[in-house]
Structure formats: structure tokens, C-alpha cells
Amino acid sequence: MKIYNTLTRTKQDFVPINDGKVGIYVCGPTVYDYIHIGNARPMIVFDTLRRYLLYKGYDVNYVSNFTDVDDKIIKRANEEGVPSSEISERFIAEVKKDMKDLNVMEATTHPKATEEIPDMIEMIKVLIDKGHAYEVNGTVYFRTRSFKDYGKLSKKNIDDLEAGHRDEKHALKVSGEDEKEDFLDFVLWKPKKEGEPSWPSPWGEGRPGWHLECSVMSKKYIGDIIDIHAGGEDLIFPHHENEIAQSEAANDVEFARYWMHNGFLRIDGEKMSKSLGNFFTIREIGEKYPLQVIRFFILSAHYRSPLNFSDQLVESAKASLERILTAVNRLEEAAQNAKDAELTAEELKIKEGLSDFEKKFDDAMEDDLNTADAISAIFELVKYTNSNVSGDNSSDLVKASLDMVKKLCDILGIITEVKKEKLDDEIEALINERQQARKDKNFARADEIRDMLAAEGIVLEDTREGVKWKRV
């Protein structure tokens, strides 16, 4: 498999540190509110990477954290008059619910920052002992210039970074607020403020800096070196750059072999923001669309490409997903009617042809997780089965076709099992009444009932086997 490595800006053959095992660390959300559609993209993309590696036979250790102490969490807690832990626990539960609805697998480990603070303190001690960090009035800073490779991920030059903030740096010095040795130094530990949660440390009561959390949790649950570190491209600088600096300075080994970053998501061509009124949570979107449609929509574009979210594009994704689900449903019905007989020569040729689509799917996924082309391979497979497989064929061919479509969809996390909800008595009575109206040749009433059911989101299909229905 080839992966585009942000560190080298090239596609590289993926070779895990340990044969047959892969350690993946994905930066998780800060839990102060419901997650939004932008949060969902890395969750879905890297869940799909995990699923593909599992399909290829790897033992995957997938770690994704929850940042459960942060200024935004504290602000909301103070507004509601509750402990910050109550806010974080509430929204961890809500995030997990949304992840389940998006068919995102539970991580091997979901560490919480507040439960790993003793290890964070230990890493800070190591950095101070090695001369990479220093304390001023209860705040511990990382000496950015002490790490000679700073900027290697983002390709930012350290002198250019300082020059770009010259006016801001001067203002801090004039006001006497700049305690740091260097403007570019970042916080590893911050002292307690009134109304904030805090933990004891050698430098006084306080809490860790955000960047430090991921360095410590990835080390504890994966090891000093991560196979794949992933997240949104907005995290490349400064978060991931700072993670590299403090981890490699403390551990004296490479922090991560491969860096994967998904592209930005825009809403109707604009950056998502509350001020523009185009900020949508997954919970809000789920009221309008099945979340499997959202997963399918996100995977319909290459993960590194910018993705534009609009009703028109999501409706198109919904229609595309429906084509696949309809094909699955058709094959399931065909499997019930297919005869238990030996494959004919023609059927054997059709069955052998199924592997061509699996190869196209694999080739796409092997090329830097190209889910867009992988979905195209599924559509080609669907077209092939629609044209060549029916209930008149042997059950062997029908089952092989059905299993292939389901297998490829499952690798992408696309659920093909359509749960048929039980109709309530009123709707069931309307369907029976429509059947009777058709027998009585009262087609006006039959059409009227069809329209009434359509308004309830029930679509009827008249088939040789009788009336079938589905919700839309």
C-alpha cells in the first residue's frame, strides 16, 4: 500500500514497524459540544483506513483521544455552573453516539487527557532535565529552538515564523507580559487560574498544555514510534509540529513514520463558521439525512481533497447509495429464488469476473486510500451483477455476487443491511385498502393512497411477488 506522507510530501510504500501490526494515532475532539460535520471527516476517513488494514490481515492498534480539559470546556462549565468533568463526560457520551451512528468503530483505546496527567508531568521533567524546557512563575515552556528539526512537518522556517509575528512579540515585551525566552516557545504546563480544574505538579497547581497530551498518550498506548499519525490538515501546524518537537526531544527517536492529513470541508463553498450560519452538528444533519449517506458522501471524495458540503451534493450521494442498496436488495431476493444447481460454463465465467472488481477496489485503496475510485469499482460491480445475475441463476453465483458487493461495502463501513421498520396499523391498513381498490379497479383511490403513503415516506413497488415497500 502506498500512503502520501505529509512529512516527505510524497507517496511512500507503507512498511509497518512490526510485521503484521499497525499502530495508528488519530487526534480526537475536544469535548465541549456536539461534534460537527468537519469533525466527522477524519473520524470516517481514518476509520476506513483501519477497516482496510484489518481486511488486509493486520493487527491494528487504533488510538484516538478525548481532550477533556480545555479552555472551551471550562468556559461552558462555568456558564452552566457545573464541574468541567460533567461537561466533558456528557459530550464524550454524545460523541460516541454520533460515531456509532456514522458506523465508526470504537477505538482500541480512547484515552482521556485528565487520566494521563502523571505521565505528562514525567515527560515535562525529562524535557527540563535535557534542557528542552524551562519554568517561569509556574508555567513550563518548551525551548523551540532547542529542537533543530522544528518545522520539518509543516515546512515552516523558524526564522520566518518569528519575523511574521514581530509586531505581536514587541507588544508583549512592552507590556511586560512576555515571560518566554523566545517568542516561539510553547506551553507544556500552565498554572491554575481561579475557577479552573487543576492538578499538583513540581511547578505548582495547574494543567498540561494541549500539544503535550497527544505526545504522552500515543507513547503510552502505542509506543515511542507510531506507524501512522493522522488528523485534519488544520492540525499540521502548530499541533503536530509541536508534538514532534517535544516527543523526539524527550524520547530521542522518530515520533511517527507516516503522517496522514485529510483536507478541509467547506459548506456551500464557504468556510464553516457559526457567524455565517453554516455550522452544522452531526446531530442536526442526522435529522435531515441518514448518517450512512453522510459517510458515503465523505468517502466519495479522496481524503486529501477539499470537500464541499451542500444539499445538492448530499442528495446526489443519497441517490448513489440507494443504487447500491437496491442492488443488494435485488440480489437478496434473487438468492431466495435461485435454484440449487451446478454452475453452468457461462455462470462460471460470470463468477470469475467478480474478482476483477475486487482487484479494482483493492488497487484504488492501495493507492493512498482512494475511496472515490473504490466506490467507482463498487458501482461497476453493481452494474455487472444487475446485467448478469438474477433469481434464474444458480444459488452459487447469486450468493457469490451478493457476498462480493457486501464485502467491499463493509470495508468502507457502508451498511448494506436495510432494517425494515414495522409498519404501524394505520399504514398497513392503507396498503391493504389500496390492494382492494386495485382489485375493484378503483384506480383513483389506489393512486390517492399511494400518494398518501409517499407523504409518510413510504414508497410502494408493485412486483410479480406482490407489493413491496421501502422508506425514503
Rg over alpha carbons for the chain, rounded to the nearest Å, is: 27
Q: Give 62's strand partners.
A: 24
pLDDT at position 469: 77
Bridge partners of 26, per DSSP, are 64, 230
Give CA–CA dist 60/96, Å, rounded: 20
Report the sign of the C-alpha dihedral through residues 2, 5, 10, 12, in that order: negative
Q: Which pLDDT does position 385 carry in this prediction? A: 97
- What's the confidence (pLDDT) of residue 174? 47
SS3 content of the chain, % helix, strand, coil (to 5): 50, 20, 30
Count H helices and E strands in the chain, helices first: 16, 15
Extended strands (E) in 180-275: 186-191, 206-208, 226-232, 256-262, 265-267, 270-271
Residues whose CB is less than 8 angstroms from the CB of residue 7 and which lie 6 or more positions away in sequence, other chains included: 152, 153, 256, 258, 259
- Name the 3-class secondary structure at 139: strand
Query: What residue type is assigned to position 112 of the chain?
Result: K
Q: Which residues contact 21 (CB under 8 A, 6 or more apart)?
A: 58, 59, 60, 61
pLDDT at position 277 is 77
Give, in order, the Cα–Cα distances in Å from 372 to each of 46, 102, 216, 220, 244: 14, 18, 35, 35, 31
Residue 30: DSSP 8-state:
B
In this structure, what are the phi and psi dihedrals at residue 3, rounded to the nearest 5 degrees? Answer: -125, 135
Mean pLDDT, the chain, rounded, equals 93
Question: Which tens digit of pLDDT belongs to each residue from 223-253?
Answer: 999 999 999 999 999 999 999 999 999 999 9
Residue range 444-462, pLDDT digits in tens: 888 888 888 887 778 887 7
Residue 165 predicted with pLDDT over 80: no
Kindly write down the DSSP assignment for every residue of 420-443, as one continuous string. -PPPPHHHHHHHHHHHHHHHTT-H
Neighbours of 122 (CB within 10 A): 12
Strands 256-262 and 226-232, by their bridges, are parallel
How sure is the predictor about 464, in pLDDT bands with cuts at 50, 70 and 90?
low
Kindly state the cell numbers that stand for 371. 475511496
pLDDT digits over 390-424, tens only? 999 999 999 999 999 999 999 999 999 865 555 66
pLDDT exceeds cutoff 50 at 175: no
* Burial letters 445-458, b for 16+ CB under 10 A, else e: ebeebbeebeeeeb
First and final CA of the chain: distance in angstroms? 38
* Spatial distance between the Cα atoms of 70 and 243, rounded to a whole number of angstroms: 17
Q: What does the block give as the cell for 408?
A: 467491499
Residue 151: count of CB within 10 angstroms of its CB: 19
Distance CA 74, CA 30 (A): 11
What confidence score (pLDDT) does residue 176 get? 47
pLDDT in tens, 22-36: 999 999 999 999 999
pLDDT in tens, 77-112: 999 999 999 999 999 999 999 999 999 999 999 999
Label residue 468 by pLDDT band (50, 70, 90): confident
Q: What angle do helix axes 395-411 and 345-366 make, rounded to 10 degrees?
A: 10
pLDDT tens digits for range 39-86: 999 999 999 999 999 999 999 999 999 999 999 999 999 999 999 999
> For 128-137, which contacts have Cβ atoms below 8 Å and span 24 or more sequence positions?
130/249, 130/250, 132/246, 132/249, 132/250, 133/188, 134/181, 135/189, 135/203, 136/179, 136/180, 137/179, 137/191
3-state secondary structure of 417: coil
Q: How far is CA 341 from CA 384, 385, 402, in A?
A: 21, 19, 17
